[in-house]
């Protein structure tokens, strides 16, 4: 779960990582009042959205009067950034930035541990820096017993060519950032840029904190706000999330239900391979019951773009008869006009196929034959 | 031979009195796996529905049964503790089925296990099977057959799909290993590839990758430098859009990183034949098994 910049900054401040003193506004009308409270004539207005690339999309602007702040806010609040509406704007004093650094913590899959990453080229995507100037990036992997004490941060600072109080502050800030990484079960925490100001201080000019979804159960306060932020997502995606179903909406007309992420992805790819266009990714998960399949079918039925529903199940823990019962019930209760293509294999395959046959459904054993059929029914080329 | 598990594997089931643990203990026994006991703290001294003895601690279970392998079904809040307990008791291999373990817990548990010399497979994985010998996992029993193809995968059901197709094409498997789709897992593609390279029974290898991360790229590096056996790969997620997580926590394309396209290209450059569809895998494998 991604946190908004203003939320992440409040958390940074709580452990003593310096950030600008900003004010969050929820409408353009609040802009003039907020401007008079910010301790600077020059302010920056930053849209609070969860997607990346906000700056390039024009979601960060500068103002030097209350009127200007209000005028610009009107524009910002009417924006959609990569489809995401703007509900709040953070107003901060404009920093006098001399240099921009990068500092972040994430998991390094190949080393199986967290890694603290710092770079002397901040202010741009770190992935971009990794490509264009990899030598400007320094890293320190974290041991589960030692954590990340300040001296390790000073080591990184020295490698970046920092000295004096900057080196000392960098050690403290990076150690505190790592503490937050653990405390908030983050899978990514970063400040980009970590600014060096004209008066020689380090300030987290931007802040990102993504909490690992699997750890939300022990951050119930954060989990609650997840509900609100989902309200702005596609409503079907929000509903699926509530049901505990993995659902991603795409552009096509063939609705897809699979069990297991890998197989579901492979099903999308196969439909695409035969010239069809998947409408979604929906992983019903392992061990799904009739009820959960019925919910999954309801979600696809409610998507008007879907012409064909392609169910691809290779049952291990899942039982084919449960899936068959869900399909039969869905057809009866949802009164659907969508066409079904069903592939069933694995546990209780015969029982499942029998149930479908009694209700005049045909079921395939082979996933490719089924995918071809789905594409033909949707009217796509094969 | 085979890798990781074979007829000498003696398994204890952590979480054996839970619904999943009980069901899969039965399935493993039905497959022929030597399941020698289970552990559920507080229920020691009882007998599981599978009629194997239940212990309070892994230590007791290992001492009483001589188990060398553990499989973990314990729910996420207690999974870290369970993995560390198995390592502390000195099992060689711990297979973690549990999904949704917070990455912080997975990392710390795996770090301790590696310090104590216990190999961890998973978490969030389907387990390991060496057909005809032993299954330590949750895969459906009938889809496997013994033979010379090693399979390593980041996914669960996709592994079943491919095993099912291999078996139907008459290509048996030496071992099938699901390493799991989480950000932190105990065993990598590369490590499993090295085991297959050293296993005399394995004649060719199938690698099932997916979008996100750089595990496939690392595997390609290893294959090109060290591997003599033929490798066929499949990468799921060609149609995945950037920035959307496709089920697995690790399965996400961020910007231009982790796309199926770059993975396929890197694997092909390493001499791996990459299948367009799962059904192409047996076809690509067949020549190297003649």
pLDDT at A221: 80
pLDDT at B149: 97
Contacts A–B by Cβ distance under 8 A: 182
Average pLDDT over residues A186-204: 96
- Give the separation between CA B16 and CA B21, rounded to whole angstroms: 4
Mean pLDDT in chain B?
A: 93
Domain that holds residue B194: 139-289
Match domain A97-221 to its CATH number in 3.20.20.140, 2.40.50.140, 3.30.470.20, 3.40.50.10140: 3.30.470.20
Using left for φ > 0, alpha for ψ between -120 and 50, and beta otherwise, residue A222 falls in: alpha
A24-58 residue pLDDT tens: 999 999 999 999 999 899 999 999 998 878 888 99
Residue ranges per structural domain of chain A: 21-93, 97-221, 233-377
Q: In this structure, are strands B119-121 and B93-96 parallel, antiparallel, or unpaired? A: parallel
Q: Which residues pair with B94 in a beta bridge?
A: B70, B120
Average pLDDT over residues B10-15: 97
Q: Is the dihedral of CA B181, B182, B183, B185 positive or negative?
A: negative
pLDDT(A124) > 90: no
DSSP summary character for residue A359? T
**CA nearest neighbour of B260 among B154, B179, B162:** B154
Of the candidates B114, B241, B246, the beta carbon closest to that of A261 is on: B246
pLDDT at B255: 60
Considering the domain architecture, whether residues B93 and B160 belong to the same structural domain is answered as no
**CA nearest neighbour of A201 among A248, A245, A152, A168:** A168
Considering the domain architecture, whether residues B161 and B274 belong to the same structural domain is answered as yes
**CA nearest neighbour of A325 among A353, A365, A303:** A353
pLDDT at B257: 72
- Give the separation between CA A305 and CA A294, rounded to whole angstroms: 19
**CA nearest neighbour of B10 among B98, B89, B122:** B89
**CA nearest neighbour of A191 among A277, A101, A279, A284:** A101
Contact B107 A107 (CB under 8 A): yes
Considering the domain architecture, whether residues B192 and B158 belong to the same structural domain is answered as yes
Q: Is B214 on the interface with A (CB under 8 A)?
A: yes
Last residue of a domain, one of B75, B92, B121: B121
Question: Is residue B133 situated within a structural domain?
Answer: no
pLDDT-derived band of residue A131, with 50, 70 and 90 as boundaries?
confident
pLDDT-derived band of residue B13, with 50, 70 and 90 as boundaries?
very high
DSSP summary character for residue A105? E
Question: Is residue B14 situated within a structural domain?
Answer: yes
Active site residue B248: yes
pLDDT above 90 coverage of chain A, percent: 64
Q: Which residues of A touch B159 (CB under 8 A)?
A: 262
pLDDT-derived band of residue A382, with 50, 70 and 90 as boundaries?
very low
Average pLDDT over residues A231-252: 75
The answer to which of A93-102, A324-333, B55-64, B181-190 has the lowest mean pLDDT is: A324-333
- To the nearest whole Å, the CA of B275 is away from the closest chain A CA by 12
Considering the domain architecture, whether residues B144 and B117 belong to the same structural domain is answered as no
Other residues' Cβ atoms within 10 Å of the Cβ of residue B91: 26
pLDDT at A183: 97
pLDDT(A239) > 80: no
- Give the separation between CA B282 and CA B285, rounded to whole angstroms: 5
Q: Which residues of A touch B215 (CB under 8 A)?
A: 109-110
Interface of A with B in 116-155 (CB under 8 A): 125, 127, 143-144
B225 contacts: CB under 8 Å, gap ≥ 6: none
**CA nearest neighbour of B111 among A141, A176, A209, A181:** A141
| Greatest pairwise CA separation for chain A in angstroms | 80
**CA nearest neighbour of B240 among B248, B252, B257:** B252
**CA nearest neighbour of A60 among A38, A32, A81:** A81
pLDDT-derived band of residue A381, with 50, 70 and 90 as boundaries?
low
Strand spans (E) along B122-275:
127-130, 134-137, 146-153, 173-178, 204-210, 231-236, 273-274
Active site residue A102: yes
Contact B244 A248 (CB under 8 A): yes
Of the residues B157, B213, B237, B250, the best mutation for testing chain A's interface (the one with the most A CB atoms within 10 Å of its CB) is B157
Average pLDDT over residues B208-224: 92
pLDDT at A240: 77
Question: Is residue B243 situated within a structural domain?
Answer: yes
- Give the separation between CA B270 and CA B46, rounded to whole angstroms: 53
Considering the domain architecture, whether residues B164 and B237 belong to the same structural domain is answered as yes
B57-72 residue pLDDT tens: 999 999 999 999 999 9
Average pLDDT over residues A232-247: 71
Full 3-state SS string of A341-358: EEEEEECCHHHHHHHHHH
Considering the domain architecture, whether residues B237 and B167 belong to the same structural domain is answered as yes
Considering the domain architecture, whether residues B171 and B207 belong to the same structural domain is answered as yes
Question: Is residue B5 situated within a structural domain?
Answer: no
Q: Does residue B144 contact residue B177 with C-beta atoms inside 8 Å?
A: no
B250-264 residue pLDDT tens: 677 666 678 899 999
Q: Is the dihedral of CA A262, A265, A267, A273 positive or negative?
A: negative
CATH fold, domain A21-93, is: Dna Ligase; domain 1 (3.30.1490)
User: Catalytic: which of A35, A190, A349, A364?
Assistant: A190
Residue that has been written with the tokens 């969050």 in this structure: A24
Tokens of A54: 């906000």
- Give the separation between CA A50 and CA A276, rounded to whole angstroms: 31
User: Catalytic: which of B34, B119, B248, B263?
Assistant: B248
Considering the domain architecture, whether residues B146 and B244 belong to the same structural domain is answered as yes
**CA nearest neighbour of A12 among A234, A143, A149, A194:** A194
User: Catalytic: which of A102, A178, A247, A364?
Assistant: A102
Question: Is residue B146 situated within a structural domain?
Answer: yes
Average pLDDT over residues A274-295: 85
Mean pLDDT in chain A?
A: 90
Q: Which of A127-136, A142-151, A333-342, B252-261 has the highest mean pLDDT?
A: A142-151
| Greatest pairwise CA separation for chain B in angstroms | 56
- Give the separation between CA B11 and CA B166, rounded to whole angstroms: 27
pLDDT-derived band of residue A317, with 50, 70 and 90 as boundaries?
confident
Question: Is residue B130 situated within a structural domain?
Answer: no
pLDDT at A144: 93
Interface of A with B in 216-275 (CB under 8 A): 217-218, 246, 248, 250, 258-266, 268-273
Q: Does residue B122 contact residue B149 with C-beta atoms inside 8 Å?
A: no
Last residue of a domain, one of B121, B149, B182: B121
CATH for B96? 3.40.50.720
Contact A127 B254 (CB under 8 A): yes
Match domain A233-377 to its CATH number in 3.40.50.261, 3.90.226.10, 3.40.1350.10, 3.30.1600.10: 3.40.50.261
pLDDT(A13) > 90: yes
- To the nearest whole Å, the CA of A45 is away from the closest chain B CA by 25
pLDDT(B7) > 90: yes
- Give the separation between CA A363 and CA A343, rounded to whole angstroms: 5
Considering the domain architecture, whether residues B151 and B273 belong to the same structural domain is answered as yes
pLDDT at B136: 98
Q: Is the dihedral of CA A8, A9, A13, A16 positive or negative?
A: positive
- Give the separation between CA A92 and CA A365, rounded to whole angstroms: 60
SS3 assignment, position B99: coil
pLDDT-derived band of residue B236, with 50, 70 and 90 as boundaries?
very high
B285 contacts: CB under 8 Å, gap ≥ 6: B149, B166, B171, B204, B206, B230, B232
pLDDT at A222: 80
Say which residue, B242 or B199, is predicted with more confidence.
B199
pLDDT(A293) > 90: no
Average pLDDT over residues B39-54: 88
pLDDT(A336) > 60: yes
Q: Does residue A156 contact residue A170 with C-beta atoms inside 8 Å?
A: yes
Question: Is residue B274 situated within a structural domain?
Answer: yes
- To the nearest whole Å, the CA of A224 is away from the closest chain B CA by 18
Q: Which residues of B touch A213 (CB under 8 A)?
A: 249
Considering the domain architecture, whether residues B27 and B159 belong to the same structural domain is answered as no
Residue that has been written with the tokens 């035969």 in this structure: A274
pLDDT(B48) > 80: no
Residue A252 exposed, middle or buried by CB count within 10 Å (0-12, 13-18, 19+): buried
B129-141 residue pLDDT tens: 999 999 999 999 9
Say which residue, A108 or A381, is predicted with more confidence.
A108
- Give the separation between CA B185 and CA B192, rounded to whole angstroms: 13
pLDDT(B96) > 70: yes
Total tally of structural domains belonging to chain B: 2
pLDDT(B115) > 90: yes
pLDDT above 70 coverage of chain A, percent: 95
SS3 assignment, position A299: helix
CATH for B284? 3.40.50.261
Contact A260 B215 (CB under 8 A): no
pLDDT at A85: 87
């Amino acid at each position: 779960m991604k946190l908004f910049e203003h939320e992440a900054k409040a958390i940074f401040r709580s452990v003593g990582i310096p950030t600008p003193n900003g004010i969050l506004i929820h409408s353009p009308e609040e802009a003039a009042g907020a401007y008079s409270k910010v301790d600077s004539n020059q302010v920056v207005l930053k849209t609070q959205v969860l997607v990346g690339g906000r700056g390039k999309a024009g979601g960060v602007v500068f103002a030097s009067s209350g009127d200007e702040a209000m005028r610009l806010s009107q524009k910002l609040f009417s924006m959609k950034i990569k489809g995401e509406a703007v509900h709040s704007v953070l107003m901060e004093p404009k920093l006098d930035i001399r240099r921009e650094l990068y500092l972040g913590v994430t998991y390094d899959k190949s080393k199986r541990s967290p890694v603290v990453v710092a770079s002397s080229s901040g202010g741009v995507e770190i992935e971009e820096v990794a490509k264009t100037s990899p030598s400007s990036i320094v890293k320190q992997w974290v041991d589960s017993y030692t954590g990340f004490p300040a001296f390790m941060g000073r080591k990184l600072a020295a490698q970046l060519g920092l000295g004096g109080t900057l080196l000392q502050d960098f050690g403290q800030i990076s150690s505190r950032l790592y503490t937050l990484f653990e405390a908030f079960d983050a899978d990514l925490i970063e400040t980009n840029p970590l600014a060096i100001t004209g008066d020689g201080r380090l300030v987290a000019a931007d802040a990102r904190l993504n909490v690992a979804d699997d750890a939300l159960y022990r951050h119930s306060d954060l989990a609650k706000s997840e509900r609100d932020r989902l309200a702005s997502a596609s409503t079907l995606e929000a509903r699926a999330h509530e049901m505990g179903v993995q659902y991603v909406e795409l552009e096509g007309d063939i609705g897809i239900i699979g069990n297991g992420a890998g197989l579901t992805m492979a099903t999308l790819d196969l439909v695409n391979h035969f010239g069809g266009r998947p409408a979604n990714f929906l992983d019903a998960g392992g061990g799904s019951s009739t009820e959960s399949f019925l919910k999954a079918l309801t979600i696809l039925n409610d998507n008007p773009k879907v012409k064909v529903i392609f169910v691809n199940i290779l049952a291990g823990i899942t039982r084919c008869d449960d899936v068959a019962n869900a399909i039969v019930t869905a057809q009866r209760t949802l009164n659907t006009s969508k066409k079904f293509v069903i592939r069933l294999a694995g546990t209780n395959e015969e029982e499942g196929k029998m149930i479908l046959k009694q209700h005049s459904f045909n079921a395939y054993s082979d996933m490719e034959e089924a995918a071809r059929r789905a594409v033909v029914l949707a009217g796509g080329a094969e | 031979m085979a890798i990781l598990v074979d007829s000498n594997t003696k398994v204890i089931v952590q979480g054996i009195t839970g619904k999943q643990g009980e069901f899969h203990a039965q399935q493993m026994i039905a497959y022929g796996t030597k399941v020698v006991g289970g552990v559920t703290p507080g229920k020691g001294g009882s007998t599981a529905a599978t009629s194997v003895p239940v212990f309070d601690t892994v230590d007791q279970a290992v001492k009483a049964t001589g188990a060398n392998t553990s499989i973990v079904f314990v729910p996420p809040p207690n999974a870290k503790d369970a993995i560390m307990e198995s390592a502390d008791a000195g099992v060689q291999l711990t297979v973690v089925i549990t999904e949704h373990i917070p990455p912080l817990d997975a990392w710390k548990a795996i770090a301790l296990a590696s310090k104590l010399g216990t190999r961890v497979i998973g978490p969030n994985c389907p387990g390991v099977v060496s057909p005809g010998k032993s299954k330590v996992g949750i895969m459906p029993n009938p889809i496997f057959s013994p033979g010379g193809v090693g399979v390593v995968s980041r996914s669960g059901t996709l592994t079943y799909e491919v095993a099912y197709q291999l078996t139907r094409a008459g290509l048996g498997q030496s071992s099938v290993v699901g390493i799991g789709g989480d950000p932190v897992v105990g065993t990598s593609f590369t490590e499993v590839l090295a085991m297959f390279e050293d296993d005399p029974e394995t004649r060719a290898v199938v690698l099932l990758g997916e979008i996100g991360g750089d595990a496939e790229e690392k595997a390609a590096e290893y294959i090109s430098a060290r591997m003599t056996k033929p490798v066929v790969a499949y990468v799921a997620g060609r149609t995945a859009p950037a920035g959307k997580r496709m089920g697995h926590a690790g399965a996400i394309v961020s910007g231009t990183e982790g796309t199926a396209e770059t993975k396929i290209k890197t694997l092909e450059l390493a001499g791996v034949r990459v299948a367009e569809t799962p059904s192409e895998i047996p076809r690509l494998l067949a020549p190297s098994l003649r």
